Structure 1
């Protein structure tokens, strides 16, 4: 009998996966790698044609490949194998902050790297300014990958977009343009009011939807296909734009350090 309390004890597994001239199943490769890393010797069977694959599915009454067998018992596909080995299986519908954590981490590191290249140290005021500007550009890029999907999600909560639908398409372009101009320190007369305008409307919209109306929505901040919950992150995005616009306006009027953008 298969010892489910100690999955690696049997140390042998049979794997059936698709390996065709035009297609190698990625989940089959992942299952094979996972089995080997878990200490199993893998008897790797390739399904090399569509007919062979269909016949295998019909024989075992399964809808997909790969399929893993251990000690004569069918474990199932890649996700089933992960469960059998006691490993977590990601829920594609689960809410997560991972996209924004990754984005802000990389833009912060990029800003510090740029600062180091220019001034020899990553910890400068310019690095902080670039972090906000780089983040705006990266966020705009994610939205513009599928602007239709973004606009649809954005219309759920943005106050201006609800009144004037074209704004839901304009927003990511405006955010990206303002970010690029802020990196360059160019055309402040355009970047500052643009960031201040979209940031203020965005902040008010998010605050109303989440903290006043108590609505549970997905955030469009990293694109329309994300599962990031609307709330603190989107509010932070807009507050960052407002802060950057005010900082640059103050710099232009001579109220901040002379090296500011």
Structure 2
């Protein structure tokens, strides 16, 4: 590596990256863009064939491309370049709440946009109902992208699924079905019991795993490959379903006007 003085004075970089007819390395493109945005003049050397790529790897004793040189020093690949420039490098194993924060934010905005289009105002009771229903559908969609992976993670903590494994496959379909019915505001006699059942089982399961057993687990709420930690956000998903089910059941009990605007 170069010392700090050399870093600030050397503004020329050499980049070796794969640019082939059937494949252009995305990390090579990212490296080129990052170097140029950081003020470096890039000598962009394309590896136009697998043979050229393998020859470079063998010569440098590396297993991946792109490869970046600044001055006389080999920096390494794209992540190495980010570290060299003092930028953060994402840890693929690190836990994060980003997926659910993004999902809930977008579903809230979508619900308000729908309310604006349908009712003339973004801030209505129906918008709050749509937010929960849209969130249920979106969360189910993420789970159903790889239901096998979801079910494996879900079995780590769900109390019913541990006793009856097929429930780990049924859950995302039930969540999606109830959510779609709640978006439409129809067949409450069916959507309410489904949401109340899966929400209650889920809330009890998460509470037990996290707050009683003190287990550190990843949540299956946004799919089986997520790094979202099991905890408050996971509990919130289930509590929202319970709240929505109770709210939509109130008209049948004569306690409120159905779908008050």
Given the two structures, how large is their TM-score scaled by the length of structure 2? Answer: 0.97
**What is residue 146 of structure 2 aligned with on the other side?**
146
**What is residue 91 of structure 2 aligned with on the other side?**
91
CA distance in 2, matches of 1:252, 1:66: 63
Q: Check the 8 A contact 1:150/1:223 in 2, yes or no.
A: yes
User: How big is the shift at 1:198?
Assistant: 0.3
Q: Check the 8 A contact 1:3/1:9 in 2, yes or no.
A: no
**What is residue 210 of structure 2 aligned with on the other side?**
210
**What is residue 72 of structure 1 aligned with on the other side?**
72
**What is residue 57 of structure 2 aligned with on the other side?**
57
**What is residue 246 of structure 1 aligned with on the other side?**
246
**What is residue 19 of structure 2 aligned with on the other side?**
19
Gaps of 5+ in 2: none
1:209-249 Cα distance to aligned partner (Å, 9 max, x none): 11001111000000000000001011000000000000000
**What is residue 187 of structure 1 aligned with on the other side?**
187
Gaps of 5+ in 1: none
Q: Check the 8 A contact 1:103/1:138 in 2, yes or no.
A: yes
Which stretches of structure 1, 4 residues or more, deviate above 6 A after TM superposition? none
**What is residue 119 of structure 2 aligned with on the other side?**
119
Q: Check the 8 A contact 1:161/1:167 in 2, yes or no.
A: yes
SS of equivalent residue, structure 2 residue 225: coil
CA distance in 2, matches of 1:116, 1:5: 57
Q: Does structure 1 residue 232 correspond to structure 2 residue 244?
A: no
1:10-66 Cα distance to aligned partner (Å, 9 max, x none): 111000000000000000000000000000000000000000110011111111000
Classify 1:190/1:64 alpha carbon distance in 2 versus 1 (closer, same or farther; 3 Å): same
Given the two structures, how large is their TM-score scaled by the length of structure 1? Answer: 0.97
**What is residue 136 of structure 2 aligned with on the other side?**
136
